[in-house]
Structure 1
Amino acid sequence: MNQSVSYRSGRSKRDSAKRSSAPTFVELFTPKIVTVFREGYGLGDLRSDIVAGLTVAIVALPLSMAIAIASGTTPDRGLYTAIVGGFLVSLFGGSRFQIGGPAGAFIVLVAATVDRHGIDGLILATLMSGLFLVAAGFLRLGTYIKFIPYPVTIGFTAGIAVIIFASQVKDLFGITLAGKEPGELIPKIETLAGAIGTTNLSAVAVSVMTIAIIVGLRKWRPNWPGMLIAVAVGALAVWVFGLPVETIGTRFGGIPESLPAPAVPMWSLEKIHAVFPDALAFTLLGAIESLLSAVVADGMSGRRHRSNCELVGQGIANIGSALFGGICVTGTIARTATNVRSGARGPIAGMLHSAFLLLFVLIAAPLASFIPLATLAAVLAVVAWNMAAKHEFATLVRSSWGDAAVLLATFLLTIFRDLTQGIVVGFALGSILFIHRMAQIAEIEKHVPLAVEDESDLREDRTRYDTSMARDTDVTVYRITGAFFFGAASTIGAVLDGLLTDRKALIIDFTEVPFLDSTAANVIGRAAAKAHKRKMRVYLTGTSPGVRRELFKQGARPPFVEYDADIERAYAKFKGRAALAAATS
């Protein structure tokens, strides 16, 4: 039976029906590992998860240490975070494939917190952030994270990438500073430029070699663990040739060979009050980053995560990480994507990734002393380059003045002020821009029921379609009504995911869509690309010039979609092609 779905803002009987059939508390907060075992988990699934867990651990090993060092802590704290936090994220989270651990996005916030409050303050803020995330999950605030506009996420991600790269310049070039390296970007650049004469050519050589190995293997041997190989080769080169560069051993004395005993961080009311803003910043970024990572996993796997359960799992993971001396835990997009691509079947893969990292600490910790800091800095430089979302950034700058303003405000505030201000101001600008656009297109129209007795009751620009389409098992008709913007994008995206199943054609009617923003256009573009991979034809009908222009910018263009004036023409075109294919087969 065909589906015809209409999205409308405001209250309706359909909204009441949805509320009455809303998921129960148990359904919302049941960890995905329980769901996986209910569906059946066999030996073949375990073998796949072992391979995926080992693959992700190989990627996470150098990253965890590099991120911890860049955050102003010691490499062992990054490993504790990945081991304890990563295990708890997979055990209690709402995503099948999420990999938790230290993330590059937190480098700026963690380093600033260490600067202001020391390691004890950082661990206390991490613990408090965990409690806040658990509360946010049970209050079902994860539902509202989807309202963060697309330009804001691209803006702060690109800003973080710039800051990460700037923080690694010192170790990339082996520069020696007389005093402490400034945290702010401009003073940091000025200080590094003033000390450029202390550049260590051996460190530069190691950095260049590391980047060349990672980039080369990614191009010619994409299935090989490029980062781990680069780190191993860098350590071997320093040891064999006796290169005068800093290593984990010379700066930190190596890493411990076991996990520390869990302990509650030192606290007082004054200390809690002092780190409260930092804990809130950790909570905000942790919620956004983890749910973005879960959405990426959904797009790659075709599954749907439980956002509020994921927040609870992230909160528990941050509490556990703090108790073992770790730093902030969140979902990590690169490691989660690696997990999916490696064939993971469920959360067991994430738990095994933590177990493999623990084995490294227990067995091979002394080897970490030989890892040069220039190599880890090079790893993070590559991570920053990949994080920058260069194509998306350029697309948004060209798309419209409004999206460009939101993007650039978020990006520049993230770089020159702080991440929290960037997100808050970007979201506020996005909301004001939306209100402005809605004010421009606001109109009053007569309600048109689905069944009309008089042809004149229909608006002239509203497309009617033959009811025979509703009985066609090969075609799905989807009509979007109302402003299609970032607030509605998640809902419509979920519906589209459900429609891209066994049908041969999808017709989406935009006749009643007066406005579409970049976030919504990106949803349609991704859905069209997914349908194209499944050999499913997608027709977009009734698009106004402005709507079509935005869709084109975000990738919804031939050969992924075809545009037609109305539904009936698109339907006739598809049936004609289907008949021709049947006649020639």
Structure 2
Amino acid sequence: MRELSGAWMRHSGDFWGGFAAMLVALPASVAFGVTVYAAIDPHYAAFGALAGVLGAMALGLIAPTFGGTDRLISAPCAPAAAVLSAFAIDLVHQGVSPASIVLMLTVLGILTGIIQILIGFLGVGRLIRFIPYPVVSGYLSGVGLIIIGGQLPKLAGAEGDDRWHQVLFSPERWDWRGLAIGGVTIVAMLLAARATRKIPATIVGIACGALAYAAIAVVDPSLLRLEDNPLVIGSLGATGEGYIGLITDRWNQIGGLRLAQVAGLLSSALTLAVLLSIDTLKTCVVLDRLTRSRHDSDRELAAQGLANIAASAIGGMPGAGTMGATMVNYSSGSKTRISGVVEGLTTVIAALALGAFVAWLPVATLSGVLIVVGLRMIDTDPLRFLESKSTVIDFCVVLAVVACALTIGLIAASAVGVILSIMLFLREQVGGTVVRRKSFVGERSSAWYRPEHEMRILEKKGHSAVIFELQGSLFFGTAQQLYRTLEPELAATDYMILDLQRVQSVDVTAAHMLNQVRDALAERNVPLLLSNVRERLPNGRNLREFLELAGLRSGERTAFYLPTLEAAIEWVEARLLGDRPSAEADDPPPLELHEIELFKGSKPDTLVDLEACLEKRSWKAGETIFSCGDPGNDLFLIRKGEVKVVGSVGRGGAIKHIATYGRGDFLGGQAFLDNRPRGNDAIATRDCDMYVLSLEKFNYLADEHKRIALVLMTKLARLLSIRLRHTNEELTLLQDN
């Protein structure tokens, strides 16, 4: 008993929600079925009512079982009724027999379901994720207003198919009884939502509306009869007699359908599948927004397709995830997809066992329920967009979607919203800049630590080499803007570096523009250097392969690809200096102590005692000179070769190239001064010969040869200060940009 009680407590909201959704979906399903089958022949209207019931049952049981979207209610819907009734009318005009039309409707529904399953398996449903918030908000509000507008004539008790505004301005057509019953329902729902959560507001509203009807019936005996009573739903009008025979007959005839006839149904089936899929996914998106959940679009479409196949196979109406019934289900406290199964089961029970009770439900009560649901669907959050000029246009998108939904249709509203959002996105992309930073090689430095005299040369010549760091998307909307930014440098610079590290995408127009830049520079024999050209962008494209296919091949007409911006700057530095030996040249001889940058200008007799304290050591290319965490007891003076220093970025981060030291330079000075452990790894990239000064030997010098120790410390501090000053200037430049 405790388990049963616990299960009821967990799923009571699903039961009430499914039951309330049935009260909304069942009359609509019957109406849609009658609309389609009455178009074949008026005598088929009763079969249409039962088709609506069977469709609601099959969709309610199968779609939530396999779909997995919580709270979604699937039932026959307006798009299905519109397409199928138009299809039936066209066949009637062609002189097709009613039995054959019913058979064709069955095949059309089955084909629709198959196409939906294919759409789901092909992953097309995932495109719904890219619908922007203003479109969803406008769609939500538009559906809410459509629901309210569609229910106002029923609430007023007006007969006919006039629109809400026609009824609103014709008080003589109002029925005060319907207005009273609907008003009681609306007030009861609004108050119940504040007073209690144990009983769903929808159930309270329906109960109060039914009691109001009973109270009015006491003084108006005409309300005590079911026939010709416009204030109640009335008899479902279908007992099922002869329907099974009709289904059996048409399935016996299915073998008589020619392949050409089936192929002729494909266009209509595709149209219906697209409409039903959009209707379902739109409802799912609205549910996601209300419940802060995330549905599986592809799985849901496959489940809807399976449900439509089953519904059509038993003679029912196909359908989709419907907004009205789903919102009633949500408002009534449902939590899981069990509510959808409950809706399917109670549909059968209501149609077969409780038909008399359902027949007495007041139409104005159901209208009142849907009006409250419509009011709650109107999204007022976009009103905040009016508080800032930057978001006013986004508010206009919401208004455009709402206006289109009210005047044209929901599908057109979705298309208009998506198109407007794309235009807004393009406007933002075109309005922004794709140049993140402009600088010059003289203001920046590569990972190569250079002697002081080389740094002075680079500071002087470096403004002849320009660097553009790009960002965002390079496409047809930003290509000309970028070209206008680069154009002044095309006739002035001696080197141009384009860094693409932060570029997210490149289209053919932008690639063609880069070719134009390359050609303009090539006329002056100026190289174009492209750095950080990734082989995998966020969109999956290999950027380098794409650019080379577009004609921007490395080495052709002075275009070159470099792995990093530091490597590109180093490439330019080497050519600005003009005297750096290439890797293929013979290694120069090791330097003597007085040729080391640290001791240039020192008197020979000063260095004699110092050289006696130095140890000569060698490393082969690839060997580690010191590792992170090693004691910082040695100062290394490079006589020959190159050393690369690498370290990890953050804790456990990727290994990054920090600096490169060459012939005549020194490394390890900072740890040598503060006597702290090494913070990075030093690896010989070419065979190295070095002088090594240990801390122990330096302390000896400090005791015995104070002048030599002072000279060493002074020169070491000066060079470290120059490096630090240059680093600070570069950091300031990067911050200012």
TM-score by length of 2: 0.47
Paired with 1:314 and 1:305, the residues of 2 have a C-alpha distance of 13
Q: Secondary structure of 1:142's match?
A: helix
1:132 aligns with 2:115: yes
**1:253 equivalent in structure 2:** 235
When residues 238 and 335 of structure 1 are mapped into structure 2, their CA distance, relative to the original with a 3 A threshold, is: closer
1:84 aligns with 2:66: no
When residues 446 and 132 of structure 1 are mapped into structure 2, their CA distance, relative to the original with a 3 A threshold, is: farther
Paired with 1:160 and 1:54, the residues of 2 have a C-alpha distance of 25
The count of residues paired between Structure 1 and Structure 2 equals: 402
When residues 350 and 375 of structure 1 are mapped into structure 2, their CA distance, relative to the original with a 3 A threshold, is: closer
When residues 52 and 375 of structure 1 are mapped into structure 2, their CA distance, relative to the original with a 3 A threshold, is: closer
Q: Verify the 8 A CA contact 1:134 1:316 in the aligned structure 2.
A: yes
Paired with 1:382 and 1:70, the residues of 2 have a C-alpha distance of 22
Paired letter, 1:374: A
Aligned pair partner of 1:285 in 279, 285, 290: 279
When residues 429 and 247 of structure 1 are mapped into structure 2, their CA distance, relative to the original with a 3 A threshold, is: same
Per the TM alignment, residue 283 of structure 1 is displaced from its structure 2 partner at its CA by 2.4
Q: Deviations over 1:74-116 (max 9, x none)?
A: 8876654443212212221144x3432239xx55x45644774
Paired letter, 1:65: L
When residues 123 and 328 of structure 1 are mapped into structure 2, their CA distance, relative to the original with a 3 A threshold, is: farther
Q: Which has the higher helix share?
A: 1
Paired letter, 2:277: T
What are the within-5 Å matches in structure 2 for residues 263-282 of structure 1?
Answer: 273=267, 277-282=271-276
**1:142 equivalent in structure 2:** 125
Q: Verify the 8 A CA contact 1:99 1:335 in the aligned structure 2.
A: no
What are the within-5 Å matches in structure 2 for residues 416-455 of structure 1?
Answer: 416-445=407-436
1:334 aligns with 2:307: no
Paired letter, 2:62: L
Q: Verify the 8 A CA contact 1:89 1:98 in the aligned structure 2.
A: no
Q: Verify the 8 A CA contact 1:83 1:358 in the aligned structure 2.
A: yes
Per the TM alignment, residue 140 of structure 1 is displaced from its structure 2 partner at its CA by 0.6
Per the TM alignment, residue 357 of structure 1 is displaced from its structure 2 partner at its CA by 4.1
**2:157 equivalent in structure 1:** 174
Q: Deviations over 1:217-253 (max 9, x none)?
A: 1111233133233323433443454245675796652
Q: Verify the 8 A CA contact 1:124 1:272 in the aligned structure 2.
A: no
1:316 aligns with 2:306: yes
Q: Secondary structure of 1:102's match?
A: strand
- Over the residues paired in the alignment, what is the CA RMSD in angstroms? 4.5
Paired letter, 2:72: I
Paired with 1:124 and 1:442, the residues of 2 have a C-alpha distance of 55
Paired with 2:278 and 2:385, the residues of 1 have a C-alpha distance of 24
Q: Secondary structure of 2:319's match?
A: coil
What are the within-5 Å matches in structure 2 for residues 363-442 of structure 1?
Answer: 363-389=353-379, 391-396=380-385, 398=387, 400-442=391-433
Paired letter, 1:90: P
Q: Which structure is richer in relative contact order (CA contacts within 8 A, separation 6 or more)? A: 1
Paired with 1:206 and 1:454, the residues of 2 have a C-alpha distance of 85
Paired with 1:76 and 1:368, the residues of 2 have a C-alpha distance of 15
Per the TM alignment, residue 411 of structure 1 is displaced from its structure 2 partner at its CA by 1.5
**2:519 equivalent in structure 1:** none
Paired with 2:399 and 2:141, the residues of 1 have a C-alpha distance of 10
Q: Verify the 8 A CA contact 1:54 1:356 in the aligned structure 2.
A: no
1:201 aligns with 2:176: yes
**2:137 equivalent in structure 1:** 154
When residues 258 and 60 of structure 1 are mapped into structure 2, their CA distance, relative to the original with a 3 A threshold, is: farther
Q: Deviations over 1:105-128 (max 9, x none)?
A: x55x45644774569798877655
Per the TM alignment, residue 55 of structure 1 is displaced from its structure 2 partner at its CA by 2.5
Per the TM alignment, residue 307 of structure 1 is displaced from its structure 2 partner at its CA by 2.9
Per the TM alignment, residue 46 of structure 1 is displaced from its structure 2 partner at its CA by 5.4
Paired with 2:12 and 2:309, the residues of 1 have a C-alpha distance of 28
Per the TM alignment, residue 51 of structure 1 is displaced from its structure 2 partner at its CA by 3.0
**2:16 equivalent in structure 1:** 55
Per the TM alignment, residue 422 of structure 1 is displaced from its structure 2 partner at its CA by 1.4
Q: Which stretch shows the higher mean deviation, 48-57 or 200-209?
A: 48-57
Q: Which stretch shows the higher mean deviation, 78-87 or 421-430?
A: 78-87
**1:355 equivalent in structure 2:** 345
**1:212 equivalent in structure 2:** 187
Paired with 1:220 and 1:90, the residues of 2 have a C-alpha distance of 31
Q: Verify the 8 A CA contact 1:65 1:75 in the aligned structure 2.
A: no
Structure 1: stretches of 5+ with no match in the other structure: 1-41, 183-187, 463-480, 484-490, 492-585
Paired letter, 1:100: I
Q: Deviations over 1:499-526 (max 9, x none)?
A: xxxxxxxxxxxxxxxxxxxxxxxxxxxx
Paired with 1:139 and 1:361, the residues of 2 have a C-alpha distance of 37
Paired letter, 1:148: I
Q: Verify the 8 A CA contact 2:202 2:331 in the aligned structure 1.
A: no
Q: Verify the 8 A CA contact 2:185 2:368 in the aligned structure 1.
A: yes
Paired with 1:404 and 1:139, the residues of 2 have a C-alpha distance of 34
Q: Verify the 8 A CA contact 1:61 1:228 in the aligned structure 2.
A: no
Q: Verify the 8 A CA contact 2:277 2:320 in the aligned structure 1.
A: no
Computing the radius of gyration from Cα coordinates, the structure with the larger value is 2
Per the TM alignment, residue 137 of structure 1 is displaced from its structure 2 partner at its CA by 0.6
When residues 278 and 146 of structure 1 are mapped into structure 2, their CA distance, relative to the original with a 3 A threshold, is: same
Q: Verify the 8 A CA contact 1:293 1:331 in the aligned structure 2.
A: no
Q: Verify the 8 A CA contact 2:126 2:297 in the aligned structure 1.
A: yes
Per the TM alignment, residue 398 of structure 1 is displaced from its structure 2 partner at its CA by 4.9
Paired letter, 1:102: A
**1:557 equivalent in structure 2:** none
Paired with 2:170 and 2:190, the residues of 1 have a C-alpha distance of 29
When residues 171 and 295 of structure 1 are mapped into structure 2, their CA distance, relative to the original with a 3 A threshold, is: closer
Paired letter, 1:282: L
Paired with 1:278 and 1:445, the residues of 2 have a C-alpha distance of 48
Per the TM alignment, residue 313 of structure 1 is displaced from its structure 2 partner at its CA by 1.0
Paired with 2:107 and 2:143, the residues of 1 have a C-alpha distance of 24
